[in-house]
Structure 1
């Protein structure tokens, strides 16, 4: 795979008429010991560019929060990266709300943020989708397919991992990391699985439509031990026009010297996808999933990175225009606060070229 991608892209922020090229530009490593407002900067599971600043959610169930950052780009490189503030997501005086933050997006017109929590299924904590505005925290109503029980519903650590605001500004898409129990088995190195990506309306706070998405099989790392821990999932989505999205899949295999992370970017098109919101199961229902094309295997650019390393990349956002007028795209990795061993909080910069 070449170190750039070609795709038809019509982002809500930019307009293209032809195919484009995404080229790697630069990498920044956040210091592992960095603290802001007394909080460790890590667990960065998403990145969002809004109003000249970046918002990066921290995957920390003990203290749900996000960080604001000022990232300056000059001559297609990072000139400076400064994490400025830690912002608490849940009022410490509101113990009724339990969250494991995964993704965050800014709402239109500076009206607040939307963010997701995958909860903790094994501890009977339900997943959730929130709107946070000046008037407080609002939780969306979830359809029964996401209810927690033993025979159906979401699996632990495989729920609401990705968010993207629709171009209309009237709602957002929320993606599952893994399949619902009723939709089939988890992906393995031998087979993939079918996930759901759901549209939630801001006015009603309810799900209105949905489509099916095929998650690729785990990347086979034959150098791993036979009993090594393995997992894979859809970790972020970014809508580019009414019908198309960029998606990010991350496959992980434990015990490998390079960290065991494999990350791929796909382009999907939902123009002819079936609305699956009324289907009880994706194993038996008749439907058409989103059309999907591989556009970038991050392994192909690893040699260009200063770290020569692809870590647990989980977030992406369109950034500002570069000095040549082309837009940028940034990615960020979750270092899991280094509790599983040494990892990196890396921020990657790409240039989007109109061809």
Structure 2
């Protein structure tokens, strides 16, 4: 081949550059694996328990507040039966006497039929009040903001009608308040335990992910990748997992409350529903409860993300300590 041909061949080949395929950089943390799916399931269970506890505490506190409001706006005068008194006249006198005090709004005498209905769950139907010494009741509605002087009313009733006894329900109100506070404390303790278990689970999961990708983290950190960059990659990975898990658990808890409310609304006449309503009130947590469930889901996602970031930063700090200490480098394999 002549020199001219060689020059043309060389110029032709040099004019075309070989195509280079750039391999896309994959994520540091695998997007989906067995450990990630297990962690998502654990977070979903934790979120379900946390949201269920929060909704139950909200429901019990609302029921206790409703009971407290109903009890606080009424007082009861009991008239014990006696052969020496006219029961109907004693009931009217007690009502009229109570209404003379400032802070009372209305008075209602519970008739014999209503009294018999109150005793039906314990004594059965067809009760004859003449056969039993059953007290009769007078219900007085009071002003919650400006209640009457109960001590003076009790004293006056004892002087005018010795068989009358005033019950202002203070004991029941104190018990309800104590019950609501105790329930709130128990619910808070359960939430703290659930959050603590979730944080520990995320710590172990993050360390497991770091163990599987430790060589990549070390190489990236050795060539100059900042700790914040590596931590942000793990943070994004665990944020996606926590959002999916917390949404699944929170949505399941919300569906449980909605289903319980629907069941209660369609079975108001059954004894089971009546007993459940008497103990727990309505299974409705309201807009506040559902907003609280959403807030719990976001808190779980935030805690998971921050825990993962803190664990990665701590691990990278330990890697730096090992590399800066020759003695520790020699004693630790594959450091």
TM over 0.5: no
Of Structure 1 and Structure 2, the greater helix share is in: 2
- For CA contacts below 8 A with separation 6 or more, give which structure has more relative contact order: 2
Structure number with the higher strand fraction is: 1
TM-score interval for Structure 1 and Structure 2 normalised by the shorter chain: under 0.3
TM-score, normalised via structure 1 length: 0.17
Q: Which has the larger radius of gyration?
A: 2
